[in-house]
Structure 1
Amino acid sequence: MQDRSKLLADESIGKLLFKLSAPATVGMLVQALYNLVDTAFVGQALGENSIPAIGGIAVAFPVMMIVMATALAIGIGGASMISRSLGKKDQDRAENVMGNVLSMVLIISVLICVLGSIFITPILRLFGATDTILPYATDYLSIILYGSVFFMFALAMNNVVRSEGNAKVAMYTMLISALVNIILDPFFIFNSGYIEFNFLADKLGIVIQPLYVYGFGLGVKGAAIATVLAQTTGAIFLVWYFASGNSSLRFHTRYLIPKWDIAKESISIGMGPLARNASSSLVVIVLNNILIAYGGGDIAIAIFGVANRLFMFTFMPMYGIVQGLQPIVGFNYGARKFSRVMESVKLSMFVTTTMAIIGFIVLIAFPEQLFRIFTTDQQLISSGKYATRIMVLALPLVGFQVVGASLYQAIGKARPSFLLAMSRQLLFLIPLVLILPHFFQLTGVWMAFPLSDSLSFMLTLVMVIREFKVLSGMGETIA
């Protein structure tokens, strides 16, 4: 405990950010990779049915994102409180928060499973499921809902692990679950027989020998089962970590009793990521129905589903940097070392912007090759190439916005965190998606993305400059 606190307080920011962010970034990249592989396996396994299958996952995924967003809201809010408590050397408060995070996860996950299962069809219809997409979406989501307790536990408690500065354990959790998912996917998705893997070999320029798989042939259901089993494995690993005594935080059953003040503060701080992810789901509702209204149908929904996977692969490393940044900011803010707070934020903005530029170059240069990983349908590939090149035009600005929103989460300022988290999706993207298609048809939907990114960047820039002025004027603790 003392070693980790000393590290957060005194280690040079560059080294500290690398130590905490590198494991998180690796873990997030692997998570994004298995989401890509998940969809790619389904698309290739179902052949001529790849469009409705990919569309089914695309429609179900935002519901899954709401489950994940709720867990992140609890976990990130709790992690912010724990980091600041550790910075103030209040161990009892930190452990009290951890117990409440666990109890909130258990209660809410049960509610999500029950209500989601009862209303699964109207929910999927709301998210834009057509008659051809609905069976695939139902198959996928019904299984995911039963595993929601494992999803939520792994996501929330992983943030608790990061809050104490133990980024490697958080990385191991993500690596374990991702690798289990990738290994199980072929067995659950494909029928028994040889899998050629040509869809990967052609793109990578290497020879991959056919592999005989004793598969269950469950298709979309198999992808969901593999995902739930993978998350369960990650949850078991976290239980072992806390039970083994390797954590600086100790579990106490008395702290499982929910406390309103802890729940209120945790959720209010976590409302930023909750708003961001929940607004992503609201965007899908609006977007899919707009796509159907303007004649895009199943293909347009599938395009957005594939594009979302590709964007996740770009965004996830940025979120890895943010996850490493938050305990640094939270601890040093609690310890009143504000110069270290600002230094770490500036460095993180530089790194995430560099990542965003690299992602922009790859996506705008190779969209056709990337879409071919998921499908052999030429219309889907051609239309996806056109849409992706429009959607990524302002991608280089996203890194700054991601770090700016996380700054307010880490220092416990719920309102500005919420505003920045919702700005891209709710404040800018949804109105643009509703307005632009009237003038530019389907192209208007794709245009809404770079415009909302640009507007959100400008709002974040103004707010971060103002916050830095406040931090510069606050009295600082001298070591």
Structure 2
Amino acid sequence: MAKINSAILGKEPIGKLLIQQALPASVGILVMSLNILVDTIFVGNWIGSIAIAAINVVLPVSFFIAALGMAIGIGGASIISRALGSNKDEKALKTFGNQISLTLILTIVLVVLGLTFVNSLIPAFGGKGAIFEPAKVYYTVVLYGVPFLALCMMGNNVIRAEGKPKFAMIAMIIPSVGNLVLDYILIKVFDMGMLGAAWATTTSYLLCFGYIVWFFLSKNSELKIKWSHFLFDWSILKETSSLGFVTLARQAAVSVTYLLMNNILFDLGGAASVTVYAIIGRMLMFALFPVLGVTQGFLPIAGYNYGAKNWERVRKSINTAILYASMLGVLVFAGIMFFSENIVAIFTSNPQIIEETPSAMRWVFAATPIIALQLIGSAYFQAIGKAIPALLLTLSRQGFFFIPLVLILPKYFGEIGVWISFPIADVLSTIVTAYFLNREIRLKLKPSQALNYSE
């Protein structure tokens, strides 16, 4: 079945393929983004704007631990899909067992450390002043559920590796819907405040975990592991780690960005500025879902045709993906530019937040029409197995440009220096990516070398 499905990547029209691949990815990202977005709206309206800032402080810690599960999932899923395709079932089972063991050990260690140093970590991540207490309440409860979230992120990628995208999509929908329902019950009905928001989030992770366990125990999954599969195989661990490192590095950069932003903004404008960034951060996760969906859909198409040495289809997949993603980026840009005030009003009724957020949001999204090139370019190198260029280009925006900019510009321009760092970093990273992508196309994907495959 996997071979039949993958064969179409080299035959079907690129535009049609890209839509087929991008839609499921977009739906998954949309559902997760909507969950975060609506959760923030509920918390902002039912608890208060300080609660939004408190949750934003906790995000880097929970985000990074969950990213471990995602990285292990992506790295192991690559091994599993190739093993299943070549009838190496035992290697697939051993890889899955190792993924579970590795995810459990790493996340439990991090949770223990996170709870031990709770009073130091929260202020370090921007949870100061009035934000500290609600952040501590949320942090403590959510951290208990983060290992389950990491296992869910890992398991979801394995489900996709088995060729079961519908089950993977359901696994993403369950915690999102569960969290929103529980938010209403625990915050609105039982008036539990931050504690209610925290338990709603943690319980939603448990619901997702329960579904994923059911999937692998049911007849829907081919991966029926035994206790022996949980014992570490160092060759599998090494391959899983190297393949997942790009994902982990990207998520780590996101966590570092949140840490810096929360602290810098608190020093510049107090809790209100942290709340402004929290709202903008939610919109970044939500509004860009179609662009990210196209990027995810592009990966298997480019990878398959590169492996087949069909350079013409690789070139066409790059051009088509950039075109589609850019068109979607322009639509996102227009929506933010025209409706920023309306968007902010959904999150909070705080007059200060409503006044300050729209202009900041417009700066943050100012370069949205061109970011498709940066995303597709870095994804291309990941698709063809060039880990170092993929890693460097993935980190270029936040690691090499944004973090230095946000450390320097606010010293000269104040809070506006924070917001203009976003479009400057986007432009610089896009220029760098464009250079290396164009160089790769000229040197490796010459039209004269293309094989004569039919479109």
Could you tell me whether the CA contact under 8 Å between 1:188 and 1:226 is conserved in 2? Answer: yes
1:39 aligns with 2:64: no
CA RMSD of aligned residues (A): 2.6
1:30 aligns with 2:31: yes
| Alpha-carbon shift at residue 312 of structure 1 (Å) | 0.6
- 1:226 corresponds to which residue? 200
Q: Which amino acid aligns with 1:348?
A: A
| Alpha-carbon shift at residue 477 of structure 1 (Å) | 11
Q: Counterparts of 1:234 and 1:340 in 2: how far apart (Å)? A: 38
Q: Counterparts of 2:181 and 2:225 in 1: how far apart (Å)? A: 33
Q: Counterparts of 2:85 and 2:435 in 1: how far apart (Å)? A: 28
Could you tell me whether the CA contact under 8 Å between 2:65 and 2:147 is conserved in 1? Answer: no
Pairing 1:177-188 to 2, within 5 Å after superposition = 177-188=175-186
Q: Which of 356, 377, 384 is the aligned partner of 1:383?
A: 356
Could you tell me whether the CA contact under 8 Å between 2:280 and 2:361 is conserved in 1? Answer: yes
| Alpha-carbon shift at residue 249 of structure 1 (Å) | 5.0
- 2:343 corresponds to which residue? 370
- 2:293 corresponds to which residue? 320
Q: Which of 241, 244, 247 is the aligned partner of 2:218?
A: 244
Compared with structure 1, are the counterparts of its residues 231 and 351 closer, same or farther at alpha carbon in structure 2 (3 Å cutoff)? Answer: farther
Could you tell me whether the CA contact under 8 Å between 2:66 and 2:147 is conserved in 1? Answer: no
Q: Counterparts of 2:441 and 2:163 in 1: how far apart (Å)? A: 24
Q: Which of 396, 413, 426 is the aligned partner of 1:440?
A: 413
Q: Which amino acid aligns with 2:158?
A: V
Q: Counterparts of 1:68 and 1:371 in 2: how far apart (Å)? A: 28
Could you tell me whether the CA contact under 8 Å between 1:126 and 1:285 is conserved in 2? Answer: yes
Q: Which amino acid aligns with 2:415?
A: L
Q: Counterparts of 1:171 and 1:344 in 2: how far apart (Å)? A: 25
| Alpha-carbon shift at residue 418 of structure 1 (Å) | 1.4
Compared with structure 1, are the counterparts of its residues 53 and 19 closer, same or farther at alpha carbon in structure 2 (3 Å cutoff)? Answer: same
Q: Which of 393, 416, 422 is the aligned partner of 1:420?
A: 393
TM-score by length of 1: 0.86
Q: Counterparts of 1:7 and 1:144 in 2: how far apart (Å)? A: 42
| Alpha-carbon shift at residue 149 of structure 1 (Å) | 1.9
Could you tell me whether the CA contact under 8 Å between 1:173 and 1:234 is conserved in 2? Answer: yes
Compared with structure 1, are the counterparts of its residues 412 and 222 closer, same or farther at alpha carbon in structure 2 (3 Å cutoff)? Answer: farther
Q: Which amino acid aligns with 1:288?
A: N
SS of alignment partner, residue 393 of structure 1: coil
More displaced stretch, 147-156 vs 326-335: 326-335
Q: Counterparts of 1:351 and 1:380 in 2: how far apart (Å)? A: 34
Q: Which of 460, 464, 467 is the aligned partner of 2:440?
A: 467
Could you tell me whether the CA contact under 8 Å between 1:87 and 1:331 is conserved in 2? Answer: no
Q: Counterparts of 1:312 and 1:113 in 2: how far apart (Å)? A: 25
- 1:115 corresponds to which residue? 113
Pairing 1:191-206 to 2, within 5 Å after superposition = none
More displaced stretch, 75-84 vs 144-153: 75-84
Q: Counterparts of 1:478 and 1:310 in 2: how far apart (Å)? A: 42
Q: Counterparts of 2:442 and 2:160 in 1: how far apart (Å)? A: 28
SS of alignment partner, residue 414 of structure 2: helix
Q: Counterparts of 1:235 and 1:188 in 2: how far apart (Å)? A: 21
| Alpha-carbon shift at residue 380 of structure 1 (Å) | 0.7
- 2:325 corresponds to which residue? 352
1:20 aligns with 2:18: no
Q: Which of 368, 378, 381 is the aligned partner of 1:408?
A: 381
Q: Which amino acid aligns with 2:169?
A: M
- 1:57 corresponds to which residue? 55
Task: Write out per-residue CA displacement over residues 396-429 of structure 1, whole angstroms, 9 at most, x where no aligned residue.
Answer: 2222222222223333322112112211111000
| Alpha-carbon shift at residue 253 of structure 1 (Å) | 4.3
Q: Counterparts of 2:91 and 2:377 in 1: how far apart (Å)? A: 27
Compared with structure 1, are the counterparts of its residues 470 and 121 closer, same or farther at alpha carbon in structure 2 (3 Å cutoff)? Answer: farther
Q: Counterparts of 1:61 and 1:165 in 2: how far apart (Å)? A: 31
Could you tell me whether the CA contact under 8 Å between 2:312 and 2:450 is conserved in 1? Answer: no
- 1:154 corresponds to which residue? 152
In the alignment, structure 1 segments of 5+ residues that lack a partner are 191-214
| Alpha-carbon shift at residue 94 of structure 1 (Å) | 4.1
More displaced stretch, 343-352 vs 122-131: 343-352
| Alpha-carbon shift at residue 464 of structure 1 (Å) | 2.0
1:304 aligns with 2:277: yes
Could you tell me whether the CA contact under 8 Å between 2:37 and 2:283 is conserved in 1? Answer: yes
Compared with structure 1, are the counterparts of its residues 377 and 346 closer, same or farther at alpha carbon in structure 2 (3 Å cutoff)? Answer: same
In percent, how many aligned pairs have the same letter? 38
1:258 aligns with 2:232: yes
- 1:212 corresponds to which residue? none
Task: Write out per-residue CA displacement over residues 275-296 of structure 1, whole angstroms, 9 at most, x where no aligned residue.
Answer: 22211221222222222333x1
More displaced stretch, 379-388 vs 463-472: 463-472
Q: Which amino acid aligns with 1:151?
A: L
Pairing 1:122-141 to 2, within 5 Å after superposition = 122-141=120-139
Q: Counterparts of 2:340 and 2:135 in 1: how far apart (Å)? A: 25
Q: Which amino acid aligns with 1:309?
A: R
Q: Counterparts of 1:412 and 1:250 in 2: how far apart (Å)? A: 29
- 1:273 corresponds to which residue? 247
SS of alignment partner, residue 385 of structure 2: coil
Structure 1 consecutive aligned stretches of length 4 or more whose deviation exceeds 6 Å = 473-479
Compared with structure 1, are the counterparts of its residues 121 and 337 closer, same or farther at alpha carbon in structure 2 (3 Å cutoff)? Answer: farther
| Alpha-carbon shift at residue 465 of structure 1 (Å) | 2.3
TM-score by length of 2: 0.91
- 1:168 corresponds to which residue? 166
SS of alignment partner, residue 129 of structure 2: coil
In the alignment, structure 2 segments of 5+ residues that lack a partner are none
Compared with structure 1, are the counterparts of its residues 252 and 409 closer, same or farther at alpha carbon in structure 2 (3 Å cutoff)? Answer: farther
- 2:99 corresponds to which residue? 101
| Alpha-carbon shift at residue 378 of structure 1 (Å) | 0.8
Compared with structure 1, are the counterparts of its residues 324 and 247 closer, same or farther at alpha carbon in structure 2 (3 Å cutoff)? Answer: farther
More displaced stretch, 396-405 vs 440-449: 396-405
SS of alignment partner, residue 133 of structure 1: helix
- 2:266 corresponds to which residue? 292
- 1:282 corresponds to which residue? 256
Compared with structure 1, are the counterparts of its residues 291 and 234 closer, same or farther at alpha carbon in structure 2 (3 Å cutoff)? Answer: same
Could you tell me whether the CA contact under 8 Å between 1:85 and 1:91 is conserved in 2? Answer: yes
Q: Which amino acid aligns with 2:355?
A: S
| Alpha-carbon shift at residue 274 of structure 1 (Å) | 1.7
Could you tell me whether the CA contact under 8 Å between 1:80 and 1:330 is conserved in 2? Answer: no
Could you tell me whether the CA contact under 8 Å between 2:373 and 2:430 is conserved in 1? Answer: yes
Could you tell me whether the CA contact under 8 Å between 1:270 and 1:414 is conserved in 2? Answer: no
Q: Counterparts of 1:18 and 1:241 in 2: how far apart (Å)? A: 27
Compared with structure 1, are the counterparts of its residues 128 and 107 closer, same or farther at alpha carbon in structure 2 (3 Å cutoff)? Answer: same
Q: Which amino acid aligns with 2:264?
A: I
